Amino acid sequence: MVTGGPPRGTSGAAGGSGVGGAAPSDRQDPEAPGRREPSAPESVLLHACCAPCSVYVLKALFASFPGTTVLLWYFNPNIHPGAEYRRRRDALAYLHARRDEFLPEGSDLRLDVSAPYRPDEFLAAAAADPRRPGRCSACYRLRMAAAARKAREAGAEAFSSTLLYSRKQGHEAVRAAGEAAAEEDGGPPFLYRDFREGWKEGREIAGRLDVFRQNYCGCLYGELDN
């Protein structure tokens, strides 16, 4: 299911097909020679791990790229059990419904929660090394590979992940997985930002909006460790 579109009578994505429209304009990332990312993407696919981690990332993206279209995409086969998966999915829908309360006027935010729930994919990926950080790195690679593919299929000019916001995730491992996935897929580049700078602000807004906030990472192993 894909929901959303431009609120308050805005026109939405301009031209072309998919999420965005125009061809991407690239620039060289000064912090990482050889990596390329769009300077002003007209469309971004944002992989969403959960609603609380999405709040600040969305604010930052729309502040950095006014007029962009963001497709918030829920793909998390690591989450266990199924009831928890649905709870977090529904929390994203709740956040999307209240987007006007924390995003700039006219922000074109769309939501896609149509990915099938396949926990077997995560369990297979993590089986080789089910301890931390091995299982976490495998989980990041699985989700970033899927995000890269989805971004290309959706016609997005870049993709990123709300995992870059959490202080509880392996930040550099997420970045490495995203950049490797972009290179291997050959589609849109991975848009890296250190969103942890907005940790406090994001938590405060999520609390004010009464967004559901989980108490473990999501996977079976994490639940047992909690």
What average pLDDT does range 203-224 have in this prediction? 82
For residues 9 and 11, what is the distance between their CA atoms, to the nearest angstrom?
Answer: 7
* Strands of 60-168, DSSP E: 69-74, 108-112, 158-161
Task: Tell me the whole-structure pTM to 2 decimals.
Answer: 0.85
- Within-domain flag for 13: no
Give pLDDT tens digits for 72-99.
999 999 999 999 999 999 999 999 999 9
Residues 6+ apart with CB under 8 A from 16: 22, 155
CA distance 37 to 28: 7
Burial (CB count within 10 angstroms: exposed 0-12, middle 13-18, buried 19+), residue 209: middle
Residue 27 lies inside a defined structural domain of this protein: no
CB 161 within 8 Å of CB 147 = yes
Q: How many domains does the chain have?
A: 1
* pLDDT tens by residue, 172-200: 999 999 999 999 999 999 999 999 999 99
CATH classification of the domain holding 205? 3.40.50.620
The answer to whether position 111 is within a domain reads yes
For all residues of the chain together, what is the average pLDDT? 86
Which residue range forms the structural domain that includes residue 198?
A: 2-6+39-225
> Are the CB atoms for 188 and 159 separated by under 8 Å?
yes
* pLDDT digit string, tens, across residues 125-155: 988 888 878 899 999 999 999 999 999 999 9
Q: 207 in a domain, yes or no?
A: yes
- Chain segment 8-62, per-residue pLDDT in tens: 333 333 333 356 443 333 333 434 433 567 778 999 999 999 999 999 999 999 9
